[in-house]
A and B are shown apart, each in its own frame.
Chain A
Amino acid sequence: MMPTVRTTLPNGLVVLLREVHTAPVATFWAWYRVGSRNEVPGITGISHWVEHMLFKGTPTLPKGEFSRLVNRHGGTWNGFTWKDFTAYFETLPAEHVQLGIRIESDRMVNSLFEPAEVESERTVIISEREGAENNPEYALYEELESAAYRVHAYRHAVIGYKSDLWAITRDDLYRHYRTYYVPNNAVIVAVGDFDSRELQRRIEEAFGGLPAGPAPPPVRSVEPPQEGERRVVLRRAGGAVPMLQMGFHAPAVTHPDFFPLVLVDGVLSGFKGPGVFGGEGIGTRSSRLYRALVERELAVEAGSSYRASHDPTLFEVGVTLRPGVDPARVEAAVLDELGRMAGEPVAPDELEKVMKQARAQWVYAADGVSPQAVLLGSMEIVAGPEFLGGFWDGLSAVTPEAMRAAAARTFAAQNRTVGWYFPEPAAGGAASAAMEEVAHHG
C-alpha cells in the first residue's frame, strides 16, 4: 500500500491521508472514538442513534441534503456504529472530495437534533432492532455476549436494549453528541486521487477552527477474569436447526497474544483480513473447523472470529448444525479442535498456508479506496498510530509454539461461554437428552 501522512491539528484532530492514483476517485471519512463501549445501562444504543441523527440536517444543510448532494456528485455515502467507533463517509469522483470536507466539518458540530426528528427516528431504530430479532442467530449472539461479560459494556449490542430505545430522550442524545463529537476525539481519513498537501490545507481550513472540547470520559469498567464455564440456552420458535456459539475472553489488539490468536483464527477457519471487519471469504474449506464439522457432516456451517478491538474481547466460534445431528457430538468436536490448537503446535506448511492467505487479503484490501480508509481509521482508533506499520513484522514473528501457548490460555474451560439455540417447538427428545450429555463436558 502507498504511504500514509499522519498529522494532528492544534485542536487535536488526527488527519490521515493516503494518495492512491489508480482510479479518479476519493473517499473521505470522519471517525469518532465513541461506540457502544462508551454506554451505560439506561442509554444503550445511544451512540448508534446519534449516528442516525447526524443525517437529519444542520442549519445550512437541511435533512436529505447530505445524501442528495453526494449522489448528485456521483458519490455514495453511509454511516455506521461499532463497539469502539462511529464512522461516516462519502466516496466521490476525486474532483468532488471537497463535498466530504464540507459535510463532515458541518455535522461534527452543527447537527440539529430537532425533537420531532428524534421521535420519528426512535421508531425507525426500534424497527431496525426488531428486524434483527427475527434472526435466531442474532438473538443467540446477544445472549452469549451478555453472559460472557459481566461488567464491561461490550456485553450489550450496538443497537441497544429495546427498553432503553423507548426511554432515551432528545437531551440524552444531544449530550452524548456534544460530549464525543469534538475534534480531539475524531480522526479524519481520506484515500484517493488527490494531492495530499492541497487536501491537508483544505481540511485545516474547514476543521482547524472547530474548538477542542473537554476530553471525553474514559471507559472505567474492566472485565474481571472468568472463573468457570458459563452456559446460555435460547429456546424459541423461528429457526430450523440448532446453532452453537462459543465465546472465550481474548485480549485487546495491543496484547502480545493478538498476532498469535489472529493466526489461530486463520488455522481454525481461514484468515479474515488485517482489519476490524475482515476481508474476502477465503481459506475456509481446508480449515480445521470446516473439516471437523462440515466435512464430517455434523454441520452445514462452521467458523470462528477474532477481531482487533480496543478492550479485551471474545474469540468466537459459531456452528449451524445439520438437521438431526446430536448437539453433544458437535460441541465435543469443536472442543476437540480447540484442544488440538492448545495441545500441539501447527505444522509449518499449515502456518505457511495461512500466511499466504494473509498476504492475499492484504493485497485485496488495497483494491478500492474505501477498504483502505476503513483499515486506516478503525486501526488508528482501536490500536493506535503505529499498529499498521508493524502489522507484518508482528504477524511474521509468530511461531507455532506462540500460537499453541496463546490458544491454551484462551481456550481454557473456565474461560468459556457456551450458547445454544434450539428451535421451538422442540424437535423431540433428542435436544434435551443431548444437553444432559453435554453438561458433563464442563
Chain B
Amino acid sequence: MVEAHSRAGAASEAAVSVPITPEAVERRPLREVATVLVRESRGTPAFTVRGYLHAGGIRDPEGREGLALLTASLLTRGTARYTSERLALTLDSLGASLNVRADVEGVSFGVRCLAEDAALLLDMLAEVLIHPTFPPAEIEKQRAKLITGIREARHDTRAVADRAFRAAAFPAGHPYHRSLEGEEETVAALTRDALVDFHRRWYRPNGAALAVVGDVRADQVLARLDHAFAAWQPAPPDGPPAVPAASPGSSVQRRTESIPGKTQADIVLGVPGFSRTSADYYPAMMADLILGRLGLMGRLGATVRDEEGLAYYVYSQAQAGVLAGPWTVRAGVNPKNVERAVAGIVREIEGLRQEPVRGGELEDARDYLIGSLAVRLETDAGIAQALLEIELFGLGLDYLLRYPGLIRAVTPEQIGAAARRYLSLDGYTVAVASPA
C-alpha cells in the first residue's frame, strides 16, 4: 500500500538545488513500453500525477474529427467497476480529481488527491484508462456538451480567429489544420463502436509516461502501479502518424470573419513554428520571449500596448510539441484599430529579424529562463509537468543541471537566424474575427 509518511524521510536531498536530478527521481518502465517517474516531496500531504499518452486528435480518421476528444471525455463516465455516478461520488468524497483530456497531439491525464488516498487514486486511474465502458447515455451527454461547445466557439472571436488562422496556415490533413472539436455533423455521426475502437487502438502503454509527485514513498507507488496496470496490454510497435510538412506560405494570407453581437476584434497572426526537439528550439524560444513575452509582453507589449494604447492583450506564443505547432501573435483591439495593430505587429517581427537583441534583451531572456526554474518548479504540479516534458522529449534526468549551459550557449546570431527562418514576412497568415 502507498501511505503518507512524515517529513523525516527526505533529508538526503538537501544538497540539491533543483528538484529533478538523476538521484532525486525514480524512473522505471511500466508494462515494458511506458515509463513512470516518481519524485517524493514533503511540502504538503498531497499527491499529484500528470501523464500523457499518444491518443490525441492527430489519431482522428479523416471526417471523424472530435473522436479523440469525445473518447477522452468518456473515460471517467463509467468503467467496469464504477458507474459514472459512483466514480464521481467516490472522487468527490475524497476531495480528489481525476481528469483525462485530449489535445491535438496527445492525451493528458492527471490525479490530485490527499496523500492518504494515493493508492486508491492510482487504482482508479488504471481503471479509467484501461476499462472504460462507454455507456450509451453518457455518450449522449458528452456529445451534447461537445456540440454546445462547438456552437459557442462559433460566437467566440478568439476561437474563430484561431481556427481561421490554423486552417489557412497549415496544409489540409495537418493536425493543426483540422479541428480537434470536430464539426456538429462529424460529432453527431460518431458511434459507440468508433469510440470503443479508438480506445482499443490508441489507449495503450506504448510511449506513455506518468509523472508522480507527492508525500508518498516511491517504492510503494511503483509497486502499486505495477499491480494496478497489470492488465494494460502493449501493442506491437509502430511509427508516429504521417503528418504533412508545414512551412510559411509563398504569400501573405488574410482571413476575415464577421460575428454579430461583438465589440472587439481578435487577431491571430503567425506561421507554422518549430517542434520541441528541433535543433533551433532554444534560440527560437528566446526570440519568442523577446518578441512578445518578456516583461510586459516583450517588444509587442512595449509598442502596441504601452506606447500606442491599442490593445489590452498582445503577446506571442510558440507551441513547440512533438510537432511544430503554431507560432503566433495574438491581440484584441477595437475594430477601427485592426490595421494599425497588424502593422505594428509586422513592424516588430521585422525588427526582430533585423535586430534580434537590443540593449540588455539577451541577458534579460537568459537570466529569466535560468533564474525562473526555482519558481516554475515550486509546486508539486510544476515538478510533475517538468518530469513529463523531460520524459516525452527524451531530455534526461540531468536536464535541469544542463539547462543553464544550454541557455547560456545561445547567441544573438542564432536568435536572429531562428526569427528569420520561421517568422517570414512574405508568408505569414493573419486571421481577424471582427464584430459584424
Closest chain-B Cβ to A439's Cβ sits at a distance in Å of 25
Q: Which of B43, B91, B312, B373 has the most CB of A within 10 A?
A: B312
| Residue A408 interfacial (CB < 8 Å) | no
Closest chain-A Cβ to B335's Cβ sits at a distance in Å of 9
Query: Are B309 and A283 touching (Cβ within 8 A)?
Result: no
Chain A contacts with B in 110-160, Cβ cutoff 8 A: 119-128, 130-131, 133-136
Query: Are A286 and B92 touching (Cβ within 8 A)?
Result: yes
Query: Are B371 and A360 touching (Cβ within 8 A)?
Result: no
Query: Looking at the complex, which of A21-29, A306-314, A327-335 is the stretch in contact with chain B?
Result: A21-29
Known: A122-B309, A134-B263. A74 touches B375 (CB 8 A): yes
Across the two chains, which residue of chain B brings its CB closest to A369?
B378
Produce 1/0 per residue, A313-333, CB < 8 A to B: 000000010110000000000
A74–B260 alpha-carbon span in the complex (Å): 43
Query: Looking at the complex, which of B149-157, B167-175, B409-417 is the stretch in contact with chain A?
Result: B149-157
Q: List chain A residues, Cβ under 8 A from B379.
A: 23, 367-368
Query: Looking at the complex, which of B225-233, B362-370, B389-397 is the stretch in contact with chain A?
Result: B362-370
Q: List chain A residues, Cβ under 8 A from B400.
A: none
Chain B contacts with A in 79-118, Cβ cutoff 8 A: 85, 88-89, 91-97, 112-114
Closest chain-B Cβ to A278's Cβ sits at a distance in Å of 14
A361–B113 alpha-carbon span in the complex (Å): 9
Q: List chain A residues, Cβ under 8 A from B267.
A: none
| Residue A270 interfacial (CB < 8 Å) | yes
Query: Are A236 and B261 touching (Cβ within 8 A)?
Result: yes
Q: Which 8 A-B pairs have the closest CB atoms?
A: A74-B371, A238-B261, A360-B95, A237-B261, A22-B43, A285-B88, A120-B309, A240-B151
Q: List chain A residues, Cβ under 8 A from B308.
A: 120
Query: Are B144 and A360 touching (Cβ within 8 A)?
Result: no
Query: Are B112 and A294 touching (Cβ within 8 A)?
Result: no
A99–B363 alpha-carbon span in the complex (Å): 18
Q: List chain B residues, Cβ under 8 A from A6.
A: none
A238–B152 alpha-carbon span in the complex (Å): 9
| Residue A166 interfacial (CB < 8 Å) | no
Known: A64-B296, A64-B302, A286-B92. A121 touches B309 (CB 8 A): yes
A239–B309 alpha-carbon span in the complex (Å): 28
The residue that B312 contacts in the complex, of A20, A55, A131, A270, with Cβ under 8 A, is A131
Known: A73-B371, A237-B260, A238-B261. A124 touches B92 (CB 8 A): no
| Residue A91 interfacial (CB < 8 Å) | yes
A91–B310 alpha-carbon span in the complex (Å): 29
Q: List chain B residues, Cβ under 8 A from A297.
A: 140-141, 144
Closest chain-A Cβ to B379's Cβ sits at a distance in Å of 4
Q: List chain B residues, Cβ under 8 A from A360.
A: 94-96, 113-114
Query: Looking at the complex, which of A31-39, A250-258, A351-359 is the stretch in contact with chain B?
Result: A351-359
Closest chain-A Cβ to B180's Cβ sits at a distance in Å of 18
Q: Which of A20, A285, A294, A424 has the most CB of B within 10 A?
A: A285
| Residue B166 interfacial (CB < 8 Å) | no
Q: List chain B residues, Cβ under 8 A from A423.
A: 155
Q: List chain B residues, Cβ under 8 A from A284.
A: 92
Query: Are B374 and A93 touching (Cβ within 8 A)?
Result: yes
Query: Are A356 and B364 touching (Cβ within 8 A)?
Result: no
| Residue A336 interfacial (CB < 8 Å) | no
Closest chain-B Cβ to A425's Cβ sits at a distance in Å of 8
Size of the B side of the interface (Cβ < 8 Å), in residues, is 72
Query: Are A367 and B46 touching (Cβ within 8 A)?
Result: yes
A242–B358 alpha-carbon span in the complex (Å): 51
| Residue A430 interfacial (CB < 8 Å) | no
The residue that A23 contacts in the complex, of B261, B306, B374, with Cβ under 8 A, is B374
| Residue A40 interfacial (CB < 8 Å) | no
| Residue A280 interfacial (CB < 8 Å) | yes
A151–B263 alpha-carbon span in the complex (Å): 29
The residue that A127 contacts in the complex, of B89, B93, B149, B311, with Cβ under 8 A, is B311
| Residue A282 interfacial (CB < 8 Å) | yes
Across the two chains, which residue of chain B brings its CB closest to A366?
B44
| Residue B75 interfacial (CB < 8 Å) | no
A27–B396 alpha-carbon span in the complex (Å): 30
Known: A74-B367, A74-B375, A238-B262. A282 touches B97 (CB 8 A): yes
Known: A72-B363, A356-B93, A369-B378. A241 touches B309 (CB 8 A): no
Closest chain-B Cβ to A178's Cβ sits at a distance in Å of 24
Q: List chain A residues, Cβ under 8 A from B97.
A: 280-282
**With A75-B375, A323-B147 already in contact, 7 other A-B pairs whose C-beta atoms are closer than 8 Å:** A23-B19, A24-B374, A74-B368, A131-B312, A237-B155, A282-B97, A423-B155
A-B contact pairs, 15 of them (CB 8 A): A22-B44, A73-B367, A133-B262, A134-B157, A134-B263, A237-B155, A240-B154, A282-B92, A282-B112, A300-B145, A300-B149, A323-B148, A367-B46, A367-B379, A367-B380
Known: A24-B374, A76-B372. A282 touches B96 (CB 8 A): yes
| Residue A364 interfacial (CB < 8 Å) | yes
